[in-house]
């Protein structure tokens, strides 16, 4: 399918979603949110997709919401934002629940919704020149894009409040220290590095990765005992999958497993 605001490609088990509005800093418009939801559905439903990479075209990852489109909506802004946030959130929900790990290749500034997208990914690689800023309250707005869910869980409540209330700008080295990204690479190399990680994951036990995502995403809502019960059920379920059987057999035979994602 052809999209107006993003590019979508699948190769070697890796789906690459590229926000493609470089002349608008890849800002999240209503159409972009809708198309993101659509490609997230494709990722979730395509068994050939075993890892996902998110990146931006040009020099920006995503500079946040398209404020011009909000202003042009006039009295319809409230309805427009509810629809737009709903589409964005549906896409994020699908990616959170698809077994395929999701990696952000942060090729430049990630602000507002762009920062939220980075926090929603399972892993993140950023270039040295990348900067991160929540920015929402600078425009008199509150955060969306799942950031109020993921950010406290991944970096803690105090740091989250500082980013959201004070709009502190983080450089890439600070983002690495804070746990916002996993790696920092030279400028121009984020997509290459994220692609290498994605291809490695795409050859792994996809269903087991999905179980990891599910367990971690829900861990803050569980007691110790309930979380351990979910762990017990998940590992038991994984043991009877094709990849689980192959992994056990390969370990005993002292060879590298050949996982198929099933």
Residue 171 phi, psi dihedral angles, 5° rounding: -80, 170
Task: Please answer whether residues 58 and 108 qualify as being in contact, where contact means their C-beta atoms are separated by less than 8 angstroms.
Answer: yes
What's the mean per-residue pLDDT of the chain?
97
Q: Which residues does residue 103 pair with via DSSP β-bridges, in sequence order?
A: 53, 123
Three-state secondary-structure class, residue 107: coil
Nearest alpha-carbon partner for 118 in 147, 83, 87, 157:
147
- Does 2 qualify as catalytic in the annotation? no
Q: State the pTM of this model.
A: 0.95
Q: Which of 89, 157, 173, 237 is catalytic?
A: 89
Q: Which of 44, 66, 122, 144 is catalytic?
A: 144
CA distance 21 to 62: 9
Tens digit of pLDDT for each residue in 51-101? 999 999 999 999 999 999 999 999 999 999 999 999 999 999 999 999 999
- Does 23 qualify as catalytic in the annotation? no
In this prediction, residues 247-255 reach a mean pLDDT of: 97
- State how far Cα 246 lies from the chain centre: 29
Reported as a pLDDT band with limits 50, 70 and 90, residue 262 is very high
Tens digit of pLDDT for each residue in 146-173? 999 999 999 999 999 999 999 999 999 9
13 dihedral zone (left: phi>0; alpha: psi -120 to 50; beta): left
Q: Which helix (H) or strand (E) holds 184?
A: strand 183-185
Tens digit of pLDDT for each residue in 19-47? 999 999 999 999 999 999 999 999 999 99
């Amino acid at each position: 399918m052809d999209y107006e605001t993003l590019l979508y490609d699948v190769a070697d088990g890796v789906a690459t979603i590229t926000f493609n509005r470089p002349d608008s800093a890849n800002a999240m418009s209503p159409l972009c949110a809708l198309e993101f939801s659509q490609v997230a559905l494709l990722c979730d439903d395509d068994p050939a997709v075993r890892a996902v990479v998110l990146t931006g075209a040009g020099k920006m990852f995503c500079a946040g919401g398209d404020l011009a489109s909000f202003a042009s909506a006039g009295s319809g802004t409230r309805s427009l934002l509810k629809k737009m946030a709903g589409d964005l959130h549906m896409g994020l929900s699908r990616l959170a629940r698809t077994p395929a790990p999701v990696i952000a290749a942060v090729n430049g500034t990630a602000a507002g919704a762009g920062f939220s997208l980075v926090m929603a990914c399972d892993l993140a690689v950023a270039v040295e020149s990348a900067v991160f800023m929540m920015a929402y309250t600078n425009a008199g707005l509150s955060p969306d894009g799942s950031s109020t869910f993921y950010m406290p869980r991944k970096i803690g409540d105090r740091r989250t409040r500082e980013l959201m209330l004070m709009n502190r700008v983080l450089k890439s080295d600070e983002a690495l220290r804070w746990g916002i990204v996993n790696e920092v690479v030279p400028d121009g190399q984020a997509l290459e590095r994220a692609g290498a990680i994605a291809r490695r994951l795409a050859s792994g036990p996809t269903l087991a990765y999905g179980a990891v995502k599910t367990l971690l995403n829900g861990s803050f809502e569980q007691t110790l005992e309930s979380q351990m019960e979910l762990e017990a059920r998940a590992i038991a379920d994984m043991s009877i999958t094709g990849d689980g059987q192959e992994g056990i057999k390969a370990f005993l035979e002292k060879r590298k497993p050949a996982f198929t994602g099933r």
